[in-house]
Structures are given as structure tokens and as C-alpha cells.
A and B are shown apart, each in its own frame.
Chain A
Amino acid sequence: MTKQMIRDVRPEKVIALMCEILELTESSEEKVIIAVRTMGLPEFFKNIELLDVEDEKKEKMRALKNIIEEKAKSISTQEGGH
């Protein structure tokens, strides 16, 4: 089951999904896709401030980062943390 899930998660699909969530403009989307392909998603989220995209889009990226970080924290708490 897990292996099947991992096989189905293609980076390109995840990037496309992220672009939809962020409602990027064409030029921002191009920059984001290049950056994510080069550095991977975890590094991309660490380097949001370096991207040359509109401030409003950066805010959405920060929001997405915030949610995935809080989600990760909530999972580790359920798994036995505090």
C-alpha cells in the first residue's frame, strides 16, 4: 500500500498541484517550477524569500509552508510527542 502510494506521487504532479493552490501567474509559475525542479520541495520552502515572485504569491507560499509544518508537528504529537 505504502509502496503503491509512493509510486503514484510524481514530483511533477505535486508541483502542478502546488501551483494550482498558490494560484500563480504564468511568469511566477515558470520561476517556481524551475526552482522546485532544481532544489526539490523541502529546499524550495526554505528559500521562499529568495524567489523573484510577487509579494502576494510569496505570502501564499509562506502560508502553505506554515500549514505543512504545523501538520507535521501535529502528526509527531499524535505519534507520542508532546
Chain B
Amino acid sequence: MATKSKYTDDFFRSLNKLTGIPMNKIKSYAKENNPFNILEHPGVVDPNDKQLEKISKLNEFIASYNILKMDQENEKITFRSADESGRYFASILGGMKDKERFLVAFLDNSNSIIELKTISEGSTNMAVVYPRDILKMAMANDCTSILLSHNHPGGSLKASKEDVALTQRIVDIFKPLDIRVLDHIIVGGYSYSSMAENNILPTDKLSVANYDPIKLSAKEDVEAYDLSSDDEMEL
């Protein structure tokens, strides 16, 4: 029986990309049939051996994924320690050498992720963080706390004075709203450091909330934050 295709070109392209079956064959078959038949009965598009092997692997993956998903989907990602936060962000930012990326995880009252967002991405020399954007996302997520993280493309794990000052700016904005900044994880290479664990995480409001963009420059090695320093932070 002929069925009107509800599948988009995007879906056909996905099938083409992963199986190597030409688009014209997929589209032609899908005009009158359910395109998922291609996966279940590959013979309908006369695939070659390589395409057949790809289809077989794709079928195996889909079946396994659906079973695994039942197990994993309801598992919230919850942070109970700086180590767990560090490993989580290192899994995303680890090994990033050609750019600097700033992420924020918005958390609920059990410290589980509501949403993870890239706030800023820049070259190895400069990324700009817009506090107003973080605030908008925090409000939209109705979060009770946030975790900050960014990578140092040069690989240093030391928080720079700028990193600490940036964190203070974020705390100044969120403290009055009862949204806690739990930690700021610095990722260098595949390792990480935690400002909270190193006792350099600002926790109290120091200044009036300032929503001006914050430039994150990669002075990671030359201006590493010195725990013994009495220098005042310039905000």
C-alpha cells in the first residue's frame, strides 16, 4: 500500500550518510514505502556488501541503544563532589587546544543537571562571556545553583586572576538571587582543577552586579592565581 512519506530530506540524508546508499535510491523507495524498510529489508535498495555491512551495524546499534536508553534515560547526572564535576567537564572540554570554551551547567536543588550550555567560545587568545546571557538561561531553567567551567587551551590547570575575578562577577550577580555558584572547573589537557577544592572559589558578594561582557584571555600560565597572594582583584 502506498504511504505518503512523512520523512524529511534531512532524514534521507542521515540514512545516506550512515549507510552510503545513494539518495536517489532512498528517495525513490520512500515515495511509496516506509524508508525504515531499508534497514529491516535492505534488499529493497540492492545494496553492495559495504552498504549491507553498514546497515547491519546500524540495526544492531539502534536495537542496543533502545535497550540501553531505558536504563540510562532516567539517570540524572548529579554532582556530589568536585571530582564528579571535574570529570564531567573534562569529558567535554578535554583535549581542546584550538579554542577556549566556557560552559555553564544549570542545576536543580539536588545538584542534578537541568541544562548544560555553551556560554562562550573563542580563539585560543580570547573568549567573551556575557553575564546577562547566563542570567537569562538561569531564569529560564529555574535553577538553584550553577557550575562554571572553561578550558585552558595551553593546558594549565591553575586558575588565573582573571578566572577568579570572572567567577566573582558571576557570584555578585547570582548571590542576591539565591542561586549558588558551586564551583568553577578549569580543564587543561584531559585534567581538571576545582576552584572550590583549591579554596579560591568566591562565595560572597563583593560588589554591585555588573553585567558588562567579560573577556577571558588566555593568560593562564603567566598570571596563575597565587593562593598566598594578598593582591586585590580588579573587577
Give chain B interface residues in 57-110, CB to chain A under 8 Å.
Answer: 57-58, 60-62, 64-69, 71-73, 75, 77, 87-88, 90-96, 99, 101, 103
Docked-complex contact B18 and A64, CB < 8 angstroms = yes
Give chain B interface residues in 35-73, CB to chain A under 8 Å.
Answer: 36, 54, 57-58, 60-62, 64-69, 71-73
On chain A, the residues within 8 Å of B118 by CB distance are 49-50
On chain B, the residues within 8 Å of A66 by CB distance are 10-11, 14
Residue of B nearest to A63 (CB): B14
Say yes or no: A38-B13 contact (C-beta < 8 A), given A14-B65, A17-B57, A21-B61: no
Say yes or no: A38-B65 contact (C-beta < 8 A), given A21-B18, A74-B36: no
Docked-complex contact A39 and B88, CB < 8 angstroms = yes
Docked-complex contact B68 and A41, CB < 8 angstroms = yes
Chain A proximity of B2: nearest CB distance (Å): 17
Task: Place the interface of chain A in its size category.
Answer: 35 or more
Chain A proximity of B111: nearest CB distance (Å): 15
On chain A, the residues within 8 Å of B64 by CB distance are 9, 13-14, 17
Chain B proximity of A36: nearest CB distance (Å): 9
On chain A, the residues within 8 Å of B15 by CB distance are 63, 67
Q: B207 within 8 Å of A by Cβ?
A: no
Residue of A nearest to B151 (CB): A52
On chain A, the residues within 8 Å of B58 by CB distance are 21, 67
Main secondary structure of the interface of B (DSSP, over half): helix
Chain A proximity of B231: nearest CB distance (Å): 33
On chain B, the residues within 8 Å of A43 by CB distance are 72, 77
A43-B68 Cα distance, complex, nearest whole Å: 12
Residue of A nearest to B36 (CB): A74
Q: B215 within 8 Å of A by Cβ?
A: no
Residue of A nearest to B118 (CB): A50
Docked-complex contact A52 and B93, CB < 8 angstroms = yes
Among B11, B64, B66, max chain A CB count under 10 A is at B64
Docked-complex contact B72 and A52, CB < 8 angstroms = no
Chain A proximity of B18: nearest CB distance (Å): 5
Residues of A within 8 A of B (CB): 5-6, 9, 11, 13-14, 17-18, 20-21, 27, 30-31, 34-35, 37-43, 47, 49-52, 59-60, 62-64, 66-68, 70-72, 74
User: 24 interchain pairs (CB within 8 A)?
Assistant: A6-B71, A9-B64, A11-B68, A17-B61, A18-B65, A34-B90, A34-B190, A35-B91, A39-B91, A40-B75, A41-B65, A41-B69, A42-B69, A50-B101, A50-B103, A50-B116, A52-B93, A59-B17, A60-B17, A64-B18, A67-B11, A67-B62, A70-B11, A71-B66
Given contacts A21-B58, A38-B91, A52-B93, 6 further A-B contacts (CB under 8 A): A38-B88, A39-B91, A51-B92, A66-B11, A68-B62, A74-B34
